[in-house]
Structure 1
Amino acid sequence: MTEPKKTQNLRDWLVDENVSSGRQALAQSWYRGFVGLASSPIAFLGLVIVVLLVLAATFAPWLATHDPYRQDLAQTLLPPSGAHWMGTDDLGRDVWSRLIYGSRTTLYITMLVTVIVAPIGFLVGAISGYVGGWLDTVLMRLTDIFLAFPSLVLALAFSAALGPGIGNAVLAIALTIWPPVARLARAETLTVRNSDYLASARLQGAGLGRVLWWHLVPICLPSIIVRLTLNMASVILTAAGLGFLGLGAQPPVAEWGAMAAAGRQYLIDAWWLTTFPGAAILLVSLAFNLLGDGLRDVLDPRNG
């Protein structure tokens, strides 16, 4: 540790040292993550599939060969061919084009749930672990209540109460995903709550907001990123389940679960209606799991 400059008092020096150490830890975690991810074939495969999903959603108008919402009753239930790569559905719509546009819906739900869950889970867990006492007891018992129910069952209950639609599905899924993130953030906070650098920050007058942002975020962020990445597979499966049951995206919106549900009555004669959406759900869920496992390995400080 370097000596404080003469023109800088001890308080400023301590705060600067604490802030820079948190930033350095975060930067080292990211650097180690990118290097380790490139060296892990399984994790890199998951990353490639996720990138392809993002590209498909971004360039859907150029990748789709037909209008995904245009009905043609003269071309219903056509098998895969050169004109329709994945066949057509019961309304004559091109399955390939609807699958591509369905990636937009899947990515939208996944990203929106993640954006909602990350700050809620972190704040609940970090405040619970840092403050402790009765607040910790109340927040963790609330978390236990949500964890007592299977996430899919709880999402179905919330969706049925809120009504069908993408917005309500996102809210229902978010309400079932945040408890594991809160538990993880609390565990990470408890490991450093009594550390010297947090004690010095408190002595220098740092409030709860400063401690959370400058000291606990760098500590919790790598683990939360891994948890959220693994949760994305669960989000995709839950969203597909809600769509399959008619509680998610509503017609004519292209969504993989709803596409699979629409084709179940033609499962024998038109296998492509359920096979291709189901394969897309399986492949993307597997990709997020592989990516999450790889990130967990490379962001673990014990592997550094």
Structure 2
Amino acid sequence: MVVVMDGRASAEQVEAVIMRLEECGFSAHPIYGVRRIVIGAVGDRRVLNSLGLETMPGVERVVPIMKPYKLVSREAREENTVVRVGHVAIGGSQLAVIAGPCAVESREQLLAAAHMVQQAGAAILRGGAFKPRTSPYSFQGLGEKGLKLLAEAARQTGLATVTEVVDEHSLELAVEYVDMLQVGARNMQNFRLLQMVGRSGKPVLLKRGLSATVEEWLMAAEYIMSEGNGQIVLCERGIRTFEHSTRNTLDLSAVPLVKSLSHLPVIVDPSHATGDRRLVGPMARAAVAAGADGLLIEVHPEPTQALCDGPQSLTPAQFVSLMEELRAVAAAVGRAA
């Protein structure tokens, strides 16, 4: 349930409601909006009527939430959440473009990609330092060396940075070097990892699992938010279907659907969804038209030499052209890019 506080409620009244909830075994999560404060409460609904919350000073109303995901639901927060990653806002009027190579391969490769995507208009640099791959013989990333290179690229370009974490060790290292943590599709239901990134204090990019339903995806976000971290960006990256013409099937309908169900921002990864650089541009434009708050696009200085996901990575020239196209689409739907 959520407890909606009156717009004039004092800090003492809010704290009194939180204390009452916690006394009765509920986990209380205050959510501060522009116009009001709501308190998300997770616990045994059977004792709801005995709490007497409606009669407490400053309480406007109590709203039961029927969905299994509570804190990330639109019922808990009517306003859109805007996630801050360094100087970048995701979920506002500005389209946020995250770009860079799938994996950090070398200093020369990463710095070249970073300067190029920054000049083209990207706001955040992506680069994998820890690469969970299908084959144990594939390139697995540079580890901490890759994180240090991301930090150097950030200093040189002013870009915020995001990288994937795969376990407790990679998380402990990553929080020291990057601005945002990514939980990949394979780890979407790694609940212990979700709880740890929830406690990290860093913004989190949560990718949809390979075969996850929308509800399972939002429940994964609930794990993170239940640990006190509301800075979550959801990423649609395609799901596994019977179709083999593309790497995955990009579910663009999930973008407006999730934005109706949740207050969290939603971005789209057309690179992993299609696995084909020829399809990245059309799907990126379609994602913006569908209401996506941003894009995650793989760009490599020399895709044919990439150690990871070269076929889906754009060349620098292709990325520059795509950014120009995206500005036109974004303007048509009332956004800036």
Please state which band the TM-score falls in when normalised by the shorter chain.
under 0.3
Q: TM-score w.r.t. structure 2 length?
A: 0.25
Which structure's CA Rg is the greater one? Answer: 1
- Structure with more relative contact order (C-alpha pairs < 8 Å, separation 6 or more): 1
TM-score normalised by L of structure 1: 0.26
